[in-house]
Amino acid sequence: MAILQQVIFIAALGAVAWLIYQRVGIIGKTIRLGKDEDRTDQPSKRLSIMMRVAFGQKKMFDRPLIGVLHFAVYAGFILINVEILEIVLDGIFGTHRLFAGALGGFYGVLIGFFEFLALSVLIACALFLVRRSVLKVERFQPARHREMNGWPQLDGKLILVFEIVLMIAILTMNAADSALQDLGSAHYPQTGDFLISQFIKPLFTGWSEPALIAYERTAWWIHILGIFAFAVYLTYSKHLHIVLAFPNTYFSRLEPKGEMKNMPEITSEVKMMLGLETQAGDAVVPERFGAKDVPDLSWKNLMDAYSCTECGRCTAACPANMTGKKLSPRKIMMDTRDRLEDIGRNMLANKGEFVPDNKSLLGDYILEEEILACTTCNACVQECPVLINPLDIILQLRRHKVMDEAQAPGSWNMMFQNLDTNQAPWKFSPSDRFNWAAGLESKSIDS
């Protein structure tokens, strides 16, 4: 029986590793569809940002209570997985609590620490579930935010229930294990009671040894197979940010948020018009201005899309969204990821090559009305807990609409004409620009 369990475990481990390898491969390919962009400068500063924002969860603590709860889930997820190493080795070698003998009395302390984390995760997930399902936090409600309809809404709740089940499994498994130790069951080494599970242990009073073994083994399998399933599910879910938050924050933009990235070829023309340059620079005129589909964006834009946590802080802070406009920065990122997912499925179906599907990010996923509503205030960029930049994608889509397709609102065309003729948005001669200041000096002296 033990050998059969080992075989089943190793087969499950191999299958999970293969599925994750395949999934990571296709995610990597779709991200690499983006244009090259150098984000390797100032490595020490980038590392500092990553440690503070991704590892230290700095921006989550802008809201202290939510920050503490989120950190409990995050730290629990990271550190409890250290225990998974023992479970995996036990599964491969057919042992039980492999590290107990080597660590001695410290083993109980270590498991107690993991149990404390498991309880913290359980409580935090339960509270988050109450926030979503009972308190109905506005930014998660599909009635107000259409991007949260269907799967995104279910995904957020499903993962919380999933984590609660996993934590209950590990705590009750340890309690049943302790009860079996008290019975002197041969397969269960003496480790003593653990910090949290000792309070659950009375539930197993009076159980027979076969019943305890059956429960302990069932909980063990539920926990480890649940972890395996979560690892695969992670790559399809918004929870991919657990992994991508680290590279995404490391490669984040270092320039001030309000500094827009100019197009070199346009900058050169403007400088010539203003007399700052006498001949065209080295910038090559691109085949397409701005972005119409994901290959026109940079690889960092595409990593941003996969890193989105769907928390909705960006949308909650967006002034355009507040006034009822269709723009939702969260939806921009989710739509970009949906487009990447469709391209990934296309590539899988065509031996790794993308076959044109007559669709594009702008038009089929993101509407013109959405990108035109943006005020470029950077509120969404400021709010994001993993330093995603929805504005950069919006600007590139808008540039394509205006510069490549020559489709801009009438009021914008008037402004463009004034910029062309007067070098300013206003409809008067540059020589008259400072007329408003006439007489101010004399009035200041008189006063």
pLDDT in tens, 156-179: 888 899 999 999 999 999 999 999
pTM of the model: 0.86
Percent of the chain residues topping a pLDDT of 70: 96
Q: What average pLDDT does range 270-275 have in this prediction?
A: 73
- How far, in Å, CA of 70 to CA of 56, rounded? 11
What one-character DSSP code corresponds to residue 298? B
Kindly state the tokens that stand for 253: 């933009």
Q: What average pLDDT does range 400-409 have in this prediction?
A: 86
Q: What average pLDDT does range 383-411 have in this prediction?
A: 90
- Per-residue model confidence (pLDDT) at position 443: 57
- How far, in Å, CA of 89 to CA of 41, rounded? 41
pLDDT in tens, 274-329: 777 666 555 566 677 889 999 999 999 999 999 999 999 999 999 999 999 999 99
- How far, in Å, CA of 73 to CA of 120, rounded? 7
In this model, does residue 380 exceed pLDDT 90? yes
Residue 5: which pLDDT band, with cuts at 50, 70 and 90?
A: confident
Residue 181 amino acid letter: Q
* pLDDT, mean over the chain: 88
- Per-residue model confidence (pLDDT) at position 442: 61
**Bridge partners, residue 298, by sequence:** 35
In this model, does residue 338 exceed pLDDT 90? yes
Nearest partner of 243 among 309, 166, 298, 300, judged by Cα: 309
3-class secondary-structure state, position 209: helix
Q: Which residues of 327-394 form beta strands (DSSP E)? A: none
- Per-residue model confidence (pLDDT) at position 180: 93
- Per-residue model confidence (pLDDT) at position 164: 93
The answer to whether the CB of 369 falls within 8 A of the CB of 395 is no
pLDDT in tens, 74-114: 888 777 777 788 889 989 988 888 888 888 889 999 999 99
- Per-residue model confidence (pLDDT) at position 446: 55
The answer to whether the CB of 196 falls within 8 A of the CB of 119 is yes
- Per-residue model confidence (pLDDT) at position 75: 81
The answer to whether the CB of 153 falls within 8 A of the CB of 140 is yes
The answer to whether the CB of 245 falls within 8 A of the CB of 55 is no
Q: Which residue has the higher pLDDT, 270 or 362?
A: 362
- Per-residue model confidence (pLDDT) at position 367: 93
Residue 1: which pLDDT band, with cuts at 50, 70 and 90?
A: low
Helix H, strand E, coil C: the string for 16-70 is HHHHHHHHHHHHHHHHCCCECCCCCCCHHHHHHHHHHHHHCCHHHHHCHHHHHHH
Rg (CA), the chain: 28
pLDDT in tens, 407-442: 888 878 888 888 878 777 877 777 777 887 877 766
Q: Which residue has the higher pLDDT, 10 or 3?
A: 10
Contacts of 275 (CB under 8 A, 6+ apart): none
Residue 407 has a CB neighbour count (10 Å cut-off) of: 12
